[in-house]
Amino acid sequence: MAETTDSIFINRELSWLDFNSRVLALAKEKTVPLGERLKFAGIYGSNLDEFFMVRVGSLYDQTLLKDNKTDQMTHMTASQQLSAIMPKVEELQAKCNKYYQHLMDQLADCGYKKVDFNSLDKQEERRWKSYYQNEVFPILSPQIVDQRHPFPFLRNKETYFVVQLSNKTDGIYYGIIPINSQFERVLYVKEGEVTRFAFIEELIAHYAASVFGKSNVQKSCLFRVTRNADITVDEGMMDHDIDFRDVMSELLKKRRKLAAVRLQFWPEAPQDIVRFLRDKLMVPADRCIAQTAPLDLGCMFKLASRLSADGHSELAYPPAKPIQAPHGYSLYDEARKHDVLIGYPYQSMRPFIRMLMRAGSDPDVVSIKMTLYRLANDSQIVQALINAAENGKQVVAMVELRARFDEQNNIDWSKQLEDAGCTVFYGFDDYKVHSKLTLITSKVNGKYRYLTQIGTGNYNEKTSEQYTDLSFITADQQIGEEASAVFNNMALQRLTSDVDTMLVAPLRFKSVLMKEMDNEIARAKSGLPASMILKNNSINDPEIINKISEASCAGVRVDMIVRGICCVRAGVPGKTENVHIRSLVGRYLEHSRIYCFGTGADMRIFIASGDFLTRNTERRVEVGVRINDPRIAKQLYGILELQLRDTVNARVMQPDGTYTKVKPVEGQPPVDSQMAMYGYFQHGWDTLPEPEAPKKVPAVQNNKPAAAKEPAREKSTSRFRGIFGTLFGRGKQ
């Protein structure tokens, strides 16, 4: 069954493709600097690779098993979803080809001209042929595929040159040349004021047919393979008395050889070659895609780096470094006095790292416990834990080895932690531990005292400068005791339910937030103001979606800020009329999760590591916390209000599920919530206004919209606008 126009549900995979379309749109956005547009094209390509490797790979596995299970919302089988995905992918590829050509034209206008190997003059031909013969040809590894030579294994996400050959002896046969990471991807030649650049795969495609000697070259092209990467831990593997790291290492080897799920061809797809590769790799025809944009858009990052290296600062975003803490500031001491909220990437992660280092040397500290999901390659967080263990502290690290594409990194870190004397465990057989939780336990005057950190993002120094996340640190004794119970339960393979202040999925996460929704529904039915603001990365939990619809029908104003997958449709008459959904895609990856119910004195606000995806609410261990400190609650509400007024990064969902870019209000400067956040943190929280309650929204009776037009959310006070006016306009007000 497909989606219908009156349904409130949108298919997860199609929603994700819509999100990646919003990323791709930034590659053509004129207000985005050229170097950044190149990066967005690269991000789009990387996202799509992962989509095929994981989501299409998973659906492919279901079709092989003849699993007729349907998705929970649109009731589409795996085959139906694959059939719906590919036309969307083709549509996106057509846009990508077009935007790529625009980028090349604009690069040429800036003095960077791409080499067209089909139109070289004699001097250029000599230059490039000489480079090929001297630098490339000696390290090529051509392979023949015929009756005597088997088809080679083709590596995931690697580009190949393929030729169809013929001679009188062997008839039709094929040659394949891998183009792997040993080659420099982008080649540059400086000609006066102009820099010419070429992609290595196009250079090889122009000259490499001669590798096959006297054979008659019939047809040739470049192609790239994408393989399934959706690996799962088989239950039987957990029964053996072996280290789970060894299990994961074996699975990673298996991943490299999983089935191909996509074939890309450049610049065209000769049908004889397509049939040959399809036969060998068993890829359906609709997953064979010809394109004029590069097969691997990672080259866009290389070009952006070159612009930066050449000093073209005007082609990049203006510098924006994390705000450093004042000299002498100690987060370790400050958090013991009052709750603290840190916002990344606007504020630096260094105070948190220094807090861990200080705890590791504090004689009163007896233990440091931490959940680790994704870490930087050169992690200062891990070093702080190792130092603490070497100082005699009890260090306990819950390392999630199943963090997709970070498995090997986490295996390596877990060994280093263990070698340093830390206690390492891996979590549950059936639940990934996605929590962001740190607990520092001290013993002072015979009593245990806690310092607890709960975050929305990973302990990763690199992504803390690219993702918007929140880190809450508190000395609240009850929260510390609950966090201690969470760690103990995880170590003993037990789920946590007996907590009052914290949220802990899967047993006490969704239920708490649903109860908060019920409270707002009851208020609306009693004629009282009622509202919810829900900010997260994705939503597809049908139980939560139905509750949001119920709230809308009761007259609750529901504002949702959902960056990626959004399986609820806004504005469906009689179902989600009071639901307003926007997606923010901009300079930073919006990653924080904030759930706000009510306003003013009645406001209850939470931050959490978990989204409203079923996997987060039911199949992962997530943590969150209600923010009771009124000062920090006001800070969080201010962030939400600011993002609801964004007119630079925001796109709003329409009733048909499409998104429309928000335009600045005429006569007013544009509102860039991401860049304004620097001012938000720089000026200090005490300058923010008290949050205001929105006006009451009319209820929907008997599934029919109320006659009165729904009012917009209350605008922030002029005092709030005054603080950030210059930042919104990126100049003088």
* H-run or E-run covering 615: helix 614-618
Query: Taking Cα atoms as reference points, which of 399, 402, 375 lies closest to residue 251?
Result: 402
Q: Strand, coil or helix: what is 149?
A: coil
CA distance 207 to 592: 49
d(CA 733, CA 724): 9
In terms of Cα–Cα distance, which of 284, 289, 274, 179 is closest to 220? 274
Of 531, 526, 634, residue with least CA distance to 580: 531
Other Cβ atoms within 10 Å of 690 Cβ, number: 14
Distance CA 471, CA 113 (A): 45
Q: Kindly report the CA angle at 595 between 593 and 596, in degrees rounded to 5?
A: 145
Pairing of strands 394-399, 423-425: parallel
What SS3 class is residue 349? coil
Locate 49 and state its tokens: 């690779």
Rounded distance between C-alpha atoms, residue 277 and residue 592, angstroms:
43
The one-letter amino acid code at 322 reads P
Give which of 260, 255, 297 is closest to 404, Cα–Cα. 255
Q: How many residues make up the chain in this entry?
A: 733
CB 189 within 8 A of CB 127: yes
Residue 467: C-alpha distances to residues 238, 322, 343, 463 (Å): 34, 12, 10, 6
Q: Which of 206, 434, 580, 591 is catalytic?
A: 434
| Cα 680 → chain centroid | 24
- With tokens 């009071």, the residue in question is 578
Place of tokens 């990653």: 591
- Which residue has tokens 């120094």? 461
Among residues 39, 15, 45, the alpha carbon closest in space to that of 27 is found at 39
Residue 207 · residue 258 · CB < 8 Å: no
Nearest to 313 by CA among 304, 322, 321: 304
* Nearest-angstrom CA–CA distance, 459 and 471: 10
The verdict on whether omega for the bond into residue 669 sits within 30 degrees of 0, i.e. cis, is no
Query: Residues 469, 589: contact at Cβ < 8 Å?
Result: no
* Selection from 227, 238, 101, 243 nearest residue 157 by Cα: 227
Residue 683 among the catalytic residues: no
- Strands 623-626 and 216-227, by their bridges, are unpaired
Give the Cα separation of 482 and 497 in Å (integer). 10
- In three-state form (DSSP H/G/I as H, E/B as E, the rest C), the secondary structure along 46-78 is HHHHHHHHHHHHHHHHHHHCCCCCCCCCCCCCH
CA-nearest of 45, 671, 666 to 301 is 45
Q: What does each C-alpha distance from 373 to 111, 352, 720 come to in angstroms?
A: 43, 17, 37
Cα 647 off chain centre by? 22
Tell me how far the alpha carbon of residue 366 is from its chain's centroid: 36
Q: Which amino acid is at 59?
A: L
**Which residues, listed in sequence order, are joined to residue 558 by a DSSP beta bridge?**
532, 579
Work out the burial of residue 419: count CB atoms within 10 Å of its CB; fewer than 13 is exposed, 13-18 middle, 19 or more buried: exposed
- The CA distances from residue 58 to 13, 61, 286, in Å, are 11, 5, 17
So which residues are the catalytic ones? 434
